Chain A
């Protein structure tokens, strides 16, 4: 029996030895998010962003004399898949992770990274609790949280558009419902407007006409929608088909060109909030140009945020001189870094200081910042 035990130990040591060597060879940079499935258009741009930055850094000799290795894993934006994704990345010895893309998936994956002491930075997960609850000290993000976004949308609806009756619809998901609940809270606190309807719809349902009729009956002047673009384009198309003229205000899950493409002329005049337009920032222009040269296409959603997150994490690794979580966090909080979304650093909870939202409107088939 003892012999077997010794042999097993020997095998284990022999197997793990090469792993330890390779872990010291390179800095392992994980990218996790939706790379297939219906939300792939949100996840793939971050893979491209990481590739662009890392190729450039590697060509210049890497960081602290080490090359950076990219580990890409798909989570299809599903929490149950995300835990597998995270486990896979951790067992591959990942040092830092860019991702995940959807808030629900991020929330599911974070405890696994936390146990492994891995820094995670999301370009797009906007659920407030991810940073504000304090449960995930290993998490940071380069996008402003939903409550900030809901605040922007509510102020816009009340002060700029002057609405007093608003219907809130959401997709029952972590992200959409979270946004909707904050919007409701802010609307009620303002005392200026009444929430005439608050309901969730089933994503993927064949028909939303009953909900649209309900909105119509509620007498709402505007619909605030929390969720992603497939449902949004279905709802707005159904609203227009049923001759419902109420305005449509939504979040950055909808501020995607696919929304305009799918909803077509029905999307005209719809509002959606999204990260502040940074296209005039020289670093952003440079990043978009790199993307066009490397991939021959325009970058998609959250590309700048992902590019910035990659820069911020690599900068932190360089300044900290290691990939130890505490050292990285300290570097993130103290070292300002110039990125496509502006010059940013991070607060104690992990939210980037220096990024924000603004409201866009669909005008003549494209989103125009207001």
Chain B
């Protein structure tokens, strides 16, 4: 039973990690129907920014809390500006192009950003400072869940609640929903669609950057390639939960994390990915829109 609970928590914290990234995928898809494959790289850039800021600040002897806060803010702003720039350069000119073009542009952007960071920084793995200190919980709890697991879980929950609130109850959210429903119609009623899309990219990128900081601090290392696999997994999770749906992204991430954790625990970590992707195939077979996704009627 102990073992089951340990695996449960390890799955939840892994799921929460995916969720922080998956939220960005799902938001962008929800608004403009584009899979932003460069999103994993935004997460990586967020991690690098917080790494640089945290290192500089710790040289000047700032207290840990200030370092975390400033690194988080810096990472969010920097990554958001990258997200915004990517949207302007790689996606906006292709908004009326066939669906395949922005997708390929996104993949190109992802490869470009990886190599850009590789050249600008280094190919080496860098030790990421432990920004969330490991609290010593009482012994039976200590090996089940650590403080960074908890922080990631809580951050994900808070991010999901805030996002849901913003989309359901604010003017921006209303405009976003309108844009998602019908871009031309939204434009006709006076919504600045371009601004709404930019806002989506900014929010998604800032979230990914916070995710980058938390995850890098949890794992303790970064390099230019960390965005790739994390991005693929988060994308899978978003599809699993129903891409376009915010609670769906979180639910899909948690299910994916739990599946991987239990597959590792009870079968073998050799088959971790086999189980994760079999689950994806099964869900797509029986509910093609994902767990919480709405079945869309294709506009003809």
Question: Could you list which residues of chain A lie within 8 angstroms of chain B, going by C-beta atoms?
Answer: 36-38, 40-41, 172, 199-202, 204-207, 209-211, 213-214, 216-217, 229-230, 233-234, 237, 241-244, 258, 261-264, 266
Contacts and interface: CB of A to CB of B under 8 A. Distances in A.
Nearest to B263: A210
Interface string B208-226: 0000000100111101111
A242 B221 contact: no
B118 interface: yes
9 contacts: A37-B123, A200-B270, A201-B269, A202-B273, A206-B229, A210-B10, A211-B264, A216-B143, A262-B125
Contacts of B3: 213, 217
Contacts of B126: 262
B265 A230 contact: no
Contacts of B221: 230, 233-234, 262
B228 interface: yes
Contacts of A241: 134, 146
A38 B218 CA distance: 20
A36 B10 contact: no
B41 interface: no
A263 B125 CA distance: 10
Contact of B215 (A38, A41, A206): A206
A293 to B, nearest CB: 23
Interface in B1-19: 3, 6-7, 10-11, 13-14, 17-18
Contacts of B11: 210
Interface string B257-273: 00011001100111011
B143 A210 contact: no
Nearest to B3: A217
A262 B18 CA distance: 23
A37 B119 CA distance: 10
B127 interface: yes
B270 A199 contact: yes
Q: 7 tightest CB-CB pairs across the interface, nearest first?
A: A210-B264, A209-B10, A204-B229, A210-B261, A40-B123, A262-B127, A207-B14
Interface of B: 3, 6-7, 10-11, 13-14, 17-18, 118, 123-127, 134, 142-143, 146, 215, 218-221, 223-226, 228-230, 233, 260-261, 264-265, 268-270, 272-273
A213 B127 CA distance: 23
Contact of B228 (A41, A202, A204, A262): A204
A315 to B, nearest CB: 33
A37 to B, nearest CB: 6
A210 B220 contact: no
Nearest to B128: A262
A261 B223 contact: no
Contacts of A37: 118, 123, 225
Contact of B127 (A172, A200, A206, A264): A264
A261 B265 contact: no
Contacts of A199: 268-270
Given A36-B123, A258-B125, A262-B221, A202 B230 contact: no
Given A202-B269, A214-B269, A261 B127 contact: yes
A328 B117 CA distance: 43
